[in-house]
Structure 1
Amino acid sequence: MNRYIVWNEDETEGFVTLDQQLANESRKGIDANCRRPDGSLSHIATSFAVLTEDQICTIEVVPTYADTVAPYAAALRMIREAVEELFGPAANLESEEAVLLRGPEPHHDAEAIIAALQNVADVAWIKR
């Protein structure tokens, strides 16, 4: 679910809402249309519309956490695949399912990859 920040012309004042329709109506400066999905009047949106009626207001869409971390998670997946392909069993890379038991954030996967690379380094050191 996206969050919408409605900014005044100078981007010095604004408010946050989860309702895209409410954000659009308050941005236009039409205070009578600043209603929530249940039909009740949103006082903050109405006040914002009245204060900024002659200004060119903008809406900023704030991405969700999942949208923000998706590219990083994809990059970590590529690194994970490379470690598995290059070093195979020597890396002793923790499975994705085991990593998820510790948590879904990208740093959990990074910790598993680092541990696998350390395993490879240890094996290489022992073979010297």
Structure 2
Amino acid sequence: MGQVKVSINDRSYTVACGDGEEDHVRELASYINKQVMGLAQEVGQVGDARLLLMAGLMVADELSDALQKTKMLEQEIDNLSGSRASAVERTREAEDSVADVLDDAARRIEELARRIEAA
């Protein structure tokens, strides 16, 4: 099991993680640190616990928005997939109709050709 040292609000923390996840944990900690530092500039140093709580709420809000957008996009994909299936079916029906018309026209032409040859 790996361990990573990260810095949040100028304080170092050692965090355990799975082997190979060290870089990802560092990136996540860096993102949290940016949120905390931004909050500290806005509201001042109100304590690590409060800054981390506020940063956590901001990140949770971002996650909530992202999940909502993902759900909307999945719904849109489902709608488009349904529309595509409907369009494919209409295309098949149109192709069948065109094929029937062409078959009928070919029969008429063959019949006319036989009449002309017989005359």
TM-score, length basis structure 2: 0.29
Judging by fraction of residues, say which structure has more helix: 2
TM-score, length basis structure 1: 0.28
Higher relative contact order (CA 8 A, sep 6+): 1
